[in-house]
Amino acid sequence: MAVMNLVQAINSALDLKLADDKNIVLFGEDAGFEGGVFRVTDGLQEKYGEKRVFDTPLAESVLIGAGIGMAVNGLRPICEIQFSGFMYPAFNQIISHVSRMRTRTRGMFSVPMVIRAPYGGGIRALEHHSESTEAIYGHIPGLKVVIPSTPYDAKGLLISAIEDNDPVLFLEPKKIYRAIKQDVPEEIYRIKIGKASVLQQGEQLTIVAYGAMSRVVQQAIQHAKKDGYSIELIDLRTIYPFDKQTIVESIRKTGRLLVVHEAARTFGVAAELMAIANEEAFLHLEAPPARVTGYDTVIPLPKGEDFYFPDAARVYEAIKKTIKF
Amino acid sequence: MFSTFDPLQGKRLTIMNESGEIVAPEWMPKLPDDKIVDAYKTMLYARIGDLKAVSYQRQGRLYTLPTNIGQEAAAVGSALALEKTDWMVPAYRELGAWLVKGATMRDYFFYFGGSEEGSRYPDGTRLLPVSVPITSQLTHAVGIGFASNYKGEKDVVITYFGDGGSSQGDFHEALNWAAVFSCPTIFFCNNNGYAISLPREKQTKSKTIAQKAIAYDMPGIQIDGNDLFAVYRATSEAVKYARDGNGPVLIEAITYRLGAHTTSDDPSRYRSAEEEKEWEAKDPLLRLRVWLEKKGLWDDAKEKDYSEEATSDIESQFAEFEQYKATPIEDIFKYTFEEMPDSLKEQMIEVRNHVNRMGG
Ligand SMILES: Cc1ncc(C[n+]2csc(CCOP(=O)(O)OP(=O)(O)O)c2C)c(N)n1
């Protein structure tokens, strides 16, 4: 065991897998020599050489497109997009090819690729550096979308993503890159993609959150506990394919659902989970499924962002409202 | 060759002219006669296959499809310059090239007849499926070339696109990457004069597409795309150049789409009958046939026999396709991922139950 933050845990996963499989290549803008703008890939080029860990020209479409070709020709590319807000130039490649190659060729070719990108807000960043667009990708058939919220999860999920024979979008909550430290095994271990984790057991309300919001919700639950509320917290971990079973069982037990995400509200992940609550647990519901989210606006620049991102107070309000319904 | 045919000086490689005469014997590829006859047969086979496909489409037995007529030399000549272990990354209008690479008319009929089965080529065929989003496939060819270098293998990769495709960002991103990483990737542009209705002159201010290579410090060459010998020779040079570790090459083949863009297109809206006539005289099959006949390698009887043989082969492959009635429901779901997530299993059962209830 070693104490690691999220950045170190991700670095450790990449390091172990690069050592483990010669067909893995890691590349991105400033991801080689510099070790990435968040230093997530620090030291990897030094250790594995420029051939396997390298900088690319500043062009996201070919960054992902070339990864497709590499995958088809036997490599296992790990592509870094510097910020999730700069994934759009590669969107055509992701939606038109990465996610479809297996279906299109009836399994003759597949794209075992990991696309890593820091995502989410709350770090007082420039425009385009705070985006939370997981729902867009969750909507694309053929693509898995993973978001860790702890160092332990980040390492285990990333190792599974790298070993997955299908493409995985691995979104890293940059606000908590260095905010949480945890004991993390130094060796390889895996966390199953598609499996949520129940962080706290409770009886009156199920809260589902992920990424940086898991921590915010935990703070809110601290308050709520003092008021005597019993809350179950599920960390989603995988946006697609998500763990319906765990969520539905929990809602059937508690009778209430609250989903918290920082992404915009309309057509977001919460909307999907609320629909699942209706479809699968309707007769168990004691209150309408609820959500605390970002708003349907462009994410405000730093002077406005505190109004946008859910905080413990907003979550606490929603907890009370849902339980007291 | 690449320095001799500098696109900035308006040079273009032609070896055999429109009358089937060899005008640049010094560049004539050293191909044995039987190989040239085979190349002609493949071009003829592709032509018959293309015309058949269009007529089946007219009869409502296939769906919308692109036409290939007029571009057979560019397709077949370039593909013949590859080894079996080399890769091919197509767009959608290179039927002759796919046939050389190992795809069959059966695959073609399945694909344009509405089944993904058409993109599952015979095992081990290093051919990617049709790529509809214009020019996106060039980046894949770059990655395949990168992987080939990475693994220390000598396989090269060719990728196809049109004159319209050269305006896409992916064209520039792909050429730049390939040059930076010295990928053994051959970018083969079928400049057929039009992108649907938009003529080449309105597509780019550049006098040639070949010259765009210069910005990326790679060789670029313009060739007569209706001259099998020029296509084969230039592509062979590019293959050798790439295989020897020198990096990518851009080839611009000047050709003409004698048919419609697709079966849904009406070219008379944007081009004249005179222009079409002019290009009919430059038909790549005609001039090669003249050359073969002069050499005593081909004649009317052979043309007739081979056409009949090809036609019946193509018809029997079409008959095989027509046995296929509908995509099995399971196939729609099961290739989304290596393992089906529960949610997809549920949806698959939902469709199946529905179809069963409807008595399907
Ligand atoms: C990204 C994208 N935009 C538009 C289209 C629609 N489209 C299909 S073919 C075509 C013209 C392509 O012309 P060109 O690249 O010259 O190739 P050609 O069809 O002449 O072989 C267009 C606009 C498309 N398939 N993909």
Ligand 1 centre to CA of A169 (Å) is 29
A59–B173 CB contact, under 8 Å: yes
Model confidence at B128, in pLDDT bands (50, 70, 90)? very high
B131 lies within 8 A of chain A by CB: yes
Q: What token pair was written down for A4?
A: 């690691």
Q: Are B229 and B16 in contact (CB under 8 A)?
A: yes
How close is the nearest chain A Cα to the Cα of B56, in Å? 23
Total count of residues recorded for chain B: 360
Is B328 a pocket residue for ligand 1 (Cβ < 6 Å)? no
A261 carries an active-site annotation: no
Nearest CA in chain A to B342: A241
> Mean pLDDT over all residues of chain B?
97
Task: Give me the catalytic one of A128, A129, A139, A223.
Answer: A129
Q: How far apart are CA B162 and CA B179, in angstroms?
A: 20
Region of B194 (left: φ > 0; alpha: ψ -120 to 50; beta: rest) is beta
ipTM higher than threshold 0.90: yes
Q: What token pair was written down for A207?
A: 């809260």
B336 lies within 8 A of chain A by CB: yes
For B66-121, write each residue's pLDDT tens digit. 999 999 999 999 999 999 999 999 999 999 999 999 999 999 999 999 999 999 99
pLDDT of the residue at B359: 85
Is B192 a pocket residue for ligand 1 (Cβ < 6 Å)? yes
Put simply, the chain A residues between 225 and 254 with a CB less than 8 A from any chain B CB are 241, 244-245
As a whole number, mean pLDDT of residues A55-64 equals 98
Q: How far apart are CA B254 and CA B225, in angstroms?
A: 5
Put simply, the chain B residues between 176 and 195 with a CB less than 8 A from any chain A CB are 176-177, 180
Q: How far apart are CA A9 and CA A297, in angstroms?
A: 33
Q: How far apart are CA A89 and CA B136, in angstroms?
A: 12
Q: Which residues of chain A form CATH 3.40.50.970?
A: 2-184
DSSP letters of B42-84?
HHHHHHHHHHHHHHHHHTTSS---B--TT-HHHHHHHHHTS-T
For A123-178, write each residue's pLDDT tens digit. 999 999 999 999 999 999 999 999 999 999 999 999 999 999 999 999 999 999 99
CA distances from A85 to A125, A171, B219 (A): 12, 11, 36
For A2-184, give the CATH class.
alpha beta
Nearest CB among A57, A92, A142 relative to B337 is that of A142
Task: List the single best residue of B140, B333, B350 to mutate versus A (max A Cβ within 10 A).
Answer: B140
How close is the nearest chain A Cα to the Cα of B234, in Å? 24
Nearest CB among B119, B151, B157 relative to A104 is that of B119
A68–B170 CB contact, under 8 Å: no
Residue B132 Cα: closest atom of ligand 1: 25
Report which residue type is found at B211.
Q
B116–A71 CB contact, under 8 Å: no
Residue A246 has pLDDT above 80, yes or no: yes
Nearest CA in chain B to A65: B139
The fraction of chain A above a pLDDT of 90, given in percent, is 100
Residue B360 has pLDDT above 70, yes or no: no
Q: Are A234 and A277 in contact (CB under 8 A)?
A: no
Q: Which residues of chain A form CATH 3.40.50.920?
A: 197-323
Model confidence at A184, in pLDDT bands (50, 70, 90)? very high
Is B165 a pocket residue for ligand 1 (Cβ < 6 Å)? yes
Question: A189: buried, middle or exposed (CB in 10 Å: 19+, 13-18, 0-12)?
Answer: middle
As a whole number, mean pLDDT of residues B255-280 equals 97
In this prediction the pTM is 0.97
Q: Which long-range contacts (CB under 8 A, 24 or more apart) does A270-276 make?
A: A270/A208, A272/A135, A272/A138, A272/A242, A273/A208, A273/A242, A273/A247, A276/A244, A276/A247, A276/A248
Total count of residues recorded for chain A: 325
Ligand 1 centre to CA of B196 (Å) is 7
How close is the nearest chain A Cα to the Cα of B194, in Å? 24
Question: Cα–chain-centroid distance for residue A123?
Answer: 17
Q: How far apart are CA A15 and CA B73, in angstroms?
A: 49
CA distances from B183 to B140, B146, B178 (A): 11, 5, 5
Nearest CB among A51, A62, A93 relative to B177 is that of A62
Exposure string over A238-265, b if 16+ CB within 10 A, otherwise e: bbbbbbbebbbbbbebbbbbbbbbbbbe
Task: List the single best residue of B134, B330, B334, B337 to mutate versus A (max A Cβ within 10 A).
Answer: B337
As a whole number, mean pLDDT of residues A230-245 equals 98
User: Within 10 Å of residue A206's Cβ, how many Cβ atoms?
Assistant: 30
Fold that domain A197-323 belongs to in CATH = Rossmann fold (3.40.50)
Residue B191 Cα: closest atom of ligand 1: 16
Report which residue type is found at A231.
I
How close is the nearest chain A Cα to the Cα of B105, in Å? 16
Is B164 a pocket residue for ligand 1 (Cβ < 6 Å)? yes
CA distances from B103 to A16, B110, B120 (A): 40, 11, 9
The fraction of chain B above a pLDDT of 70, given in percent, is 100
Put simply, the chain B residues between 68 and 87 with a CB less than 8 A from any chain A CB are 87
For A79-96, write each residue's pLDDT tens digit. 999 999 999 999 999 999
Q: What angle do CA A64, A301, B169 make, to 5 degrees?
A: 25
Nearest CB among B140, B331, B337 relative to A68 is that of B140
